[in-house]
Structures are given as C-alpha cells and as structure tokens.
Structure 1
Amino acid sequence: MPAIAKVTKEMIIDAAFEIAKEIGAENINARTVSQKLGCSTQPVLYHFKTIEDVRMAAHRKAGEFHINYVTNLSGKYERPMLEVGMRHIQFAVEETNLFRFLFHSNYYTGVSLSDWLTGKNFDSLFPILERQAKVDKQQAYNIFSQIFLVTHGIASLLANNAMAYDEAYCIKTLSNAYFGTMHLIKDRGLL
C-alpha cells in the first residue's frame, strides 16, 4: 500500500492561493482548502492556528505573484515603466480575483502608502526608472508614485466594473502621466 501523502504548509498556501485566484479570497476556508487538497480539514488546522492565518499567507503569495507579473518585462512597450503600468492594468483585467484580494482587502492595515510604494515590492523598478528618466533615486520614487496612483485607479475601475479594456487609451493616459510628472520634476523642480 502506498504511503499517504503528507499535506505541507506550502501545499495549503498554494491551495488557498488557487482558491483566491479562481473563485475569490472570500471563499478561502478550511473546507474549500481541504477539498482542493483532497484531504480532511485536520491538516489545514494543524499547520495554521486560524483560517485568517491561511488567508494572510495566501495574500503574501498573491503579492509575490503580482510583483513577478508586473516586473516580467517583455519589451512590448517603448518604455519599461509604461510596460510595468500596463502589466498592472492587465493584471487587474486578467487576474481580477487576485487584484481584489490584494488591493481591496484590509491586509495592508497600518502600512502607509509611501512605505508600501518604496518597500521591497517595487525595489527592482527604481534603478530602471532612474536610467530611463535620467533622474536620481528620490525623483524616481516621485515619478513612480505619481504614475502608480494613476495606473492603479485605472486598474481598480477595470477590476470592479464590467468596463471594456482599451489598451490604446491606457497607454495614452499613462504616457501623459509620465511626461507630465517628468515636466514637473525636470523643468519646474517640483515633486
């Protein structure tokens, strides 16, 4: 008789992540996770004190997935930062449940927007922006934060409404935000 496969903590996190991705994070519970794994609820409750701990772990995994998604640049767009913005919007369109889980839940409680934008989430993007825009690190942060807020607004609208995704409009809007911010920083010394 073959040995019974052991359910690991990582398997539980992966299952919860898949549930969030497929049908929404509000459906993560001991029963749905155990069904996904083909086991009883006992391993889920053994590895995690509460189902909220499972959700938090799945949220961290979703955050890593999002960062990898938006920073996996293909060169499709003329500027790397435009591609990052477009990938964030595409993430909202293609991975609506994960987008809502990440950005429309309360898992960033107590974190300031500034800290979140400058934290490890986007560290890899600042050197790209510094080179692309020929600016210093602080200016790169200022440009990024302005563009991200515009980008995120578009992404949120698309993720939460039955709106049509218009790539050309998004490109134009993000380009205007980028060049407008560059003008404020370089020509006017603002931000």
Structure 2
Amino acid sequence: MPAIAKVTKEMIIDAAFETVKEMGAENINARTVSQKLGCSTQPVLYHFKTIEDVRIATYKKASEFHINYVTNLSGKYERPMLEVGMRYIQFAVEEKNLFRFLYHSNYCIGISLSDWLTGKNFDFLFPILRKQAKVDEQQAYSIFSQIFLVTHGITSLLANNAMVYDEAYCIKTLSNAYFGAMHLIEEGSLL
C-alpha cells in the first residue's frame, strides 16, 4: 500500500493562492509555495509538472474566490447592480494582488467580454436588472456591460494605486453609468 501523501495538490494551490494575496503572483514559485507549506519543493513538483501549472490552478481558485466575493450580495445598496459594482470595487481595494493577477496578467485570456458577462457568474443578475429597469434581455446586457466597463476602470486604478478609494464617489459614478445607460435606452441609442 502506498504511503499517504502529507502535502496534497489542494494544499499547494491554497499555499500559492495565499502567496498571491500576500506578495503577488510573480512570487509563485516552488520555493515560496514549499516554504508556506513547511516542506521541501519535492511535493510541489510531484503534484504539478511545472510552476506554470501551479499558477494556472491558482488563477482558477482566485477567479472562483473573486466571483463568490462579488456576487455575495447583502442588500447594503439600493440596487443589486450597484451592489455588484461596489463589491467589485471593494475587491480591488481589499485584494489588490489578486485583482492584478486576475485582470492584469496573461492568464485572463480566451474568453470574450460578452461571454464573461453573460456566463453563469452573473446570470442571476439579468432577471433582476430586466425587472428593475423594465428592459428586454439585450438592453439588460447593454446596461450591464456599460456599468461593468466603468467599474473595471475604477478597479484597475484602485488596484494599481492610481486612485484613492472614495465610496461616495464610486457610488455616484456607478449610478451615473446606470442612469446614463437607461437614458440612452429610452432614446434608442444604446448599443
């Protein structure tokens, strides 16, 4: 009977995830991960063929963590769309290294913006948005994409320390994006 592995693949991914949170993705390597686990580099290289494979697995974990964070709505804000936007912004403020890993690295490839926005991550929002804004599915997508692009711009600035977080300013900016998109829909000019 083979010996039970003391260090599992999941433990390695968790250690790499913590490394990203604390020090940034550029610090994911066999040495830093093994130090975090209190072991040699051998288990890391046993479970993963390359460090790149560790980074890819860590990216997947970070992406799931991010989506759970953003979509865990509490009702703090008057509109669900506003709360999702504010959660997205707060993630960039609280988890700068994770945000940069997710959106400012070469791991965020292979999916279009449309697919990402309409995928399972946010599918619960569209019926809410359609009902609240009294719009059809295409219009709801247009509103959501406008708000997302504004929100992502803010989060990128915050995650890279190019802007200081101001909750009131962020709320006003996201509200302006929402109501601006609604106005364009009423005029029939929002794509």
**Is 1:123 aligned to residue 123 of structure 2?**
yes
Equivalent residue, structure 2, for 1:70: 70
Which aligned pairs between 1:35-184 and structure 2 lie closer than 5 A? Answer: 35-161=35-161, 163-184=163-184
Kindly state the Cα deviation for residue 4 of structure 1 after the two structures are TM-superposed.
7.4
Normalising by structure 1, report the TM-score.
Answer: 0.92
Residue by residue, what CA displacement relative to the aligned partner does 1:18-41 show, whole Å, maximum 9, x if unpaired? 111111111001111111111111
Cα distance in 2, alignment partners of residues 63 and 124 from structure 1:
18
Equivalent residue, structure 2, for 1:188: 188
Q: How many residues align?
A: 189
Q: Which amino acid aligns with 1:43?
A: P
Cα distance in 1, alignment partners of residues 44 and 128 from structure 2:
41
Gap regions ≥5 residues in structure 2: none
Cα distance in 2, alignment partners of residues 109 and 122 from structure 1:
19
Kindly state the Cα deviation for residue 189 of structure 1 after the two structures are TM-superposed.
5.4
Normalising by structure 2, report the TM-score.
Answer: 0.92
Residue by residue, what CA displacement relative to the aligned partner does 1:94-148 show, whole Å, maximum 9, x if unpaired? 1100000001001122322222222233223222222222222222111111100
Kindly state the Cα deviation for residue 172 of structure 1 after the two structures are TM-superposed.
0.6
Cα distance in 2, alignment partners of residues 173 and 137 from structure 1:
24
Cα distance in 1, alignment partners of residues 20 and 125 from structure 2:
27
Cα distance in 2, alignment partners of residues 81 and 116 from structure 1:
16
Q: Which moved more, 1:157-166 or 1:140-149?
A: 157-166
Equivalent residue, structure 2, for 1:13: 13
Q: Percent identity?
A: 86
Q: Secondary structure at the match of 1:144?
A: helix
Structure 1 segments of 4 or more deviating over 6 A?
A: none
